[in-house]
Structure 1
Amino acid sequence: MSAAGRDGIGDFIQPTSAGVLAAVVGFASAFTIVLQGLAAAGATPLQAASGLMALCVVKGLLGIQMGWSSRLPISIAWSTPGAALLIATGVPAGGFPAAVGGFLVAAGLIILAGLWPMFGRSVGRIPMGLASAMLAGVLFDLCLAPVRSMQALPWLTLPILLTWALMLRFARLYAVPVSVLVTFALIGWSTPLPDLAAAWPRPEMIVPVFSLETAISIGVPLFIVTMASQNIPGLAVLRGNGYHPETGPIFIVTGMGSAVAALFGGQAMNLAAITAALCAGPEAHPDPNKRYRATVAAAATYIVLGLGASYAAAFIAAAPPRLIQAVAGLALLPSLASALAGALTTETERLPVILTFTVAASGIGFFGIGPAFWGLIAGGALMLVLHRAS
C-alpha cells in the first residue's frame, strides 16, 4: 500500500489547513505593501497587478516543486521589505522599466550567492546591525502612515486602528488581515469603486532598462534586505524546527524565480520568515516528515490568490491612499520593531547603526541613488573608522 494509502485523513487536513492559513495570512498582511511599492516605482495599475500575480504564481509553482522534491517545509514568499524599499526609493530615472532592471540585478545577485559560496558567505558577513538599521530606516517613514492618516481621515482611520489593537490582544495572527477587511469595508462604504468585473487577470511583460544608478539604488539594497531580513530569518526558522537544507540550491531557485517574476513586474522572492513557522512547526503536523505538505498547500493557495491580483489592484487604485498607507504601516510595524531590535543588539556598533538608520530614514539620495544604499555606506565607513581607531 502506498504512503498516501496508509495516511489518515488528519494527515492531510492538518497540514493543508495550516498551509492555506499561512498563505491567506501572508497575502492579506502584505499585498497592499507590494502594490504600493510597485506603484511607487512607477508601475501602472495594470503593471502592479501583473507584478503581484507573477509573484504569487511563480512562488506557488516553486513552493510546490521544492516541497515535493525535498520533502522539507520550504516556504517561498515575496520580499515585503523589498516592496517597502521601493516605496521609500520612488520612481527611478527611466521609470518602471528601469526599476525592473534593478529587480533583475537583485535576482542575479541572489543566484550568484547560491552558485558562489564565498560570495554568499561574504554577504553573510555584512554586520547584521547595519543591515537591520538600513531596513529600519526604510520602514520608519512608512510606519508613520497610520498617524498621518489619523490626522487626515480620523473617522475612517480610527476603526482600523481599534480593530488592529483588539485583534493584537485576542488573536495576534489575524490582526493585520482583519484590519485589511475592515479597511476594505470602509472603502466600499465611502468610495465609488470601479467595475471590478472588468479587472480580469492579465500578465504584462515589461522590457527592462539597465543603468548603474538603478543597479545601485534598487538592485543592491533589494538584494541585501532580501537576504538579511527574509532569507537568513527563514533559514533560522527551518533550523529551529530541525530542518537543515542546503542553502545554495534554495538561493539559485529563488533567484531564478525572482528573475522570471521581474519580467512581469514582481520585485523579488525569498524564503518566508514569519509565515514559515506555521508550515515548519508542530501546528502543521506532529510528524516533521509530513510538514512539507503544508508548504505545498500554501503554494497552491498562493496561485489561486494570484489570479485575483487584478481585482485587488483595481480596488486599491480606487481607495483613498491614506487608508491604504495606514493599513500597510500597521502591517510593517512588527518588521520595524524587529529591525530596530536587531540593529541595537551590539553596544559597540550603535553609533554606526544609528548613522545608517538616520541616513536611510532621511529620504535624501545623491547622484540618483536612494538613501538606503548611502545609509549602509555611511554606517559601514564609520564602523571601519571606529574599528581601526580602537
Structure 2
Amino acid sequence: MLAGLAAVGATDAQAASGLLVTCVTMGVLSILLSVAFKVPLKFAWSTPGAALLVATAGITGRFGEAVAAFIVAALLIVLVGLWPALGRLIARIPRPIANAMLAGILFPLCLAPVQAAVQIPLLAIPVIVVWLVLSKLAPRWAVPAAIVLAGVLLAATVDSGWLTGANLLPNLAFVAPEFDPLVVVSIALPLFVVTMAGQNIPGAAILTSFGYRAPVRAALVGSGALSAVGALSGGLTINLAALTQALTAGPEASPDRDKRWMAPVASGVTYIVLGLFAAFATAFVIASPPLLIQAVAGLALLGALIGAVTSALEVPRDRLSAIATFLVTASGITVMGIGSAFWGLVVGGIAMLWFGWRRPRSVEE
C-alpha cells in the first residue's frame, strides 16, 4: 500500500497519513457493521488496488490528482451498492465454486510455512513447533502463541536501525483533490474494477461459503462512503476482505457461528490501534522478513483451507468445476488488470454450467 501511494506522488508524510486513515476507517467499519448485522464482516484495504497504483506509476506525480481518482472510484462503489441486482448475483454464487475460490486464495499463503522453514529455519521452525504443539494441547492458543513468538524473534533479530525516523504520533495530512479527466480514467476506473472483482465479490462469496448471507448493500455503501472521506487524507480504497475474511468467518474464530461476528470487531479495534502507530508499525514491518509474517498467516489459515477444500469437493458432480476454480484462483494470474480470484469464479461458473447441462433425450433414447 505504501509503495502504491508513493508511486502516484505521495510524500512520506502523506503515505503515513494514508495508512493511518485507511486502518482507522476499515477498523471502524468492521466494528459497526459486524455489530449491526451480527455477521463477521471484515474490511481491508484494496490489495489489488495498491498493486494497480504501483503498476500505473508515472501516470501522475501529483498526489492530489490520484486522490481525486480515489474519490471517484469510491463513489462508483457506492452506486453499485445501491444496485440490488448485485446482491442477488453474489447470493447466487454456488457454494462449491465459492469454497474452491477460497481454497485457491488460501493455498499460496498456506505454503509459506514450508518455504519459511527452508529459507529462514532459525526464525520459522520454532514458530511452527510452538504452533504444532499447542494445536494438540491447546488449539485455541496455537495461532496467538505463534504470532507472539514470531514478534519476539523479529524484535530480537531485526537491526535496531529500523526505529530511525519512526514517529509514534498519529498525523493526518489533508490532500486537496485535483480532478484531471485523464487520471480519473487511468486510475479511478481500473481501481473500481479490481476492487470489486478482486475483493468485494470474492469477500462476499467467502461469507457465503461459510453459510452467511452477506449484507452486500451496507458493505458496499459503507466502504465506498468511508473510502471517499478517507481519500482526503491520502487513504486508499477499503472493501470487504477476501483472504482475512476466512479467518473471522471460519470455525477458528469461534465454534459457534452466531458468535463469530466478534472476531472482526476485535480485528477492527486492532486496526485502529495499528493506525495510531502507523509510522512505527510500518518501519518495523518493512525491516522484518516478509516470509515469516506470511508463514504465521499461513499457519492461521490452515483450518480454513481444510474446510474450504472439503466443502468444495463434497458433491461429486461439482468436483471438476470446483477443481477448475481452485486451479485458476491459485495460479495468481492477472488478466486485464483483474486478479485470479475473479477469473476463478468465471471459469468455475462456466464449467458448472457446461457440465451441469444435459442434452435432452430423444424419443428413441
- Mark yes or no: TM-score above 0.5: yes
Query: C-alpha separation between the residues in 1 aligned to 2:331 and 2:152?
Result: 34
Which position in structure 1 is the counterpart of 2:295? 326
* Structure-to-structure mapping, 1:30-179, within 5 angstroms: 38=1, 50=17, 53-62=20-29, 73=38, 76-79=41-44, 83=47, 93-95=55-57, 108-109=76-77, 112-113=80-81, 115-179=82-146
Tell me by how many angstroms 1:183 deviates.
Answer: 0.9
Deviates more, 1:304-313 or 1:227-236: 227-236
Which letter does structure 2 place at the counterpart of 1:164? W
Query: C-alpha separation between the residues in 1 aligned to 2:94 and 2:3?
Result: 29
* Structure-to-structure mapping, 1:231-380, within 5 angstroms: 233=210, 235=212, 248-249=217-218, 251-261=220-230, 264-265=235-236, 267-269=238-240, 273-274=249-250, 302-380=271-349
Which letter does structure 2 place at the counterpart of 1:153? I
Query: C-alpha separation between the residues in 2 aligned to 1:96 and 1:338?
Result: 43
Q: For each residue in 1:109-151, what CA deviation from the matched residue of structure 2 results, as whole angstroms up to 9, or x when unmatched?
A: 47634x3333211221122322322232222112111111111
Tell me by how many angstroms 1:358 deviates.
Answer: 0.9
Query: C-alpha separation between the residues in 2 aligned to 1:67 and 1:138?
Result: 23
Change (3 A) 1:364 1:67: closer
Any idea what SS the aligned residue of 2:187 has? coil
Change (3 A) 1:102 1:141: farther
Which letter does structure 2 place at the counterpart of 1:345? E
Which letter does structure 1 place at the counterpart of 2:298? G
Tell me by how many angstroms 1:318 deviates.
Answer: 0.5
Query: C-alpha separation between the residues in 2 aligned to 1:279 and 1:299?
Result: 20
- Give me the identity figure in percent: 35
Any idea what SS the aligned residue of 1:268 has? strand
1:383 equivalent to 2:352? Answer yes
Tell me by how many angstroms 1:316 deviates.
Answer: 1.1
* Structure-to-structure mapping, 1:5-44, within 5 angstroms: 38=1
Q: Are the aligned partners of 1:355 and 1:375 in contact in 2 as well (CA < 8 Å)?
A: yes
Which letter does structure 1 place at the counterpart of 2:150? T
- TM-score when scaled to structure 2? 0.70
Q: For each residue in 1:248-292, what CA deviation from the matched residue of structure 2 results, as whole angstroms up to 9, or x when unmatched?
A: 445533443355456513542468535875999679xxxxxxx99
Change (3 A) 1:43 1:335: farther
Query: C-alpha separation between the residues in 1 aligned to 2:319 and 2:296?
Result: 31
Tell me by how many angstroms 1:224 deviates.
Answer: 1.2
Tell me by how many angstroms 1:329 deviates.
Answer: 1.9
Q: For each residue in 1:332-371, what CA deviation from the matched residue of structure 2 results, as whole angstroms up to 9, or x when unmatched?
A: 3233233323322332221111111111212333344433
Q: For each residue in 1:193-238, what CA deviation from the matched residue of structure 2 results, as whole angstroms up to 9, or x when unmatched?
A: 31177233344678775265555444312111221224774846x9
Gaps of 5+ in 2: 61-65, 178-183, 360-365
Which letter does structure 2 place at the counterpart of 1:273? A
- TM-score when scaled to structure 1? 0.66
Q: Are the aligned partners of 1:139 and 1:332 in contact in 2 as well (CA < 8 Å)?
A: yes
| Correspondence for 1:222 among 199, 205, 214 | 199
Q: Are the aligned partners of 2:163 and 2:280 in contact in 1 as well (CA < 8 Å)?
A: no
Change (3 A) 1:249 1:39: closer
Query: C-alpha separation between the residues in 1 aligned to 2:308 and 2:228?
Result: 27
Q: Are the aligned partners of 1:106 and 1:220 in contact in 2 as well (CA < 8 Å)?
A: no
Change (3 A) 1:374 1:269: closer
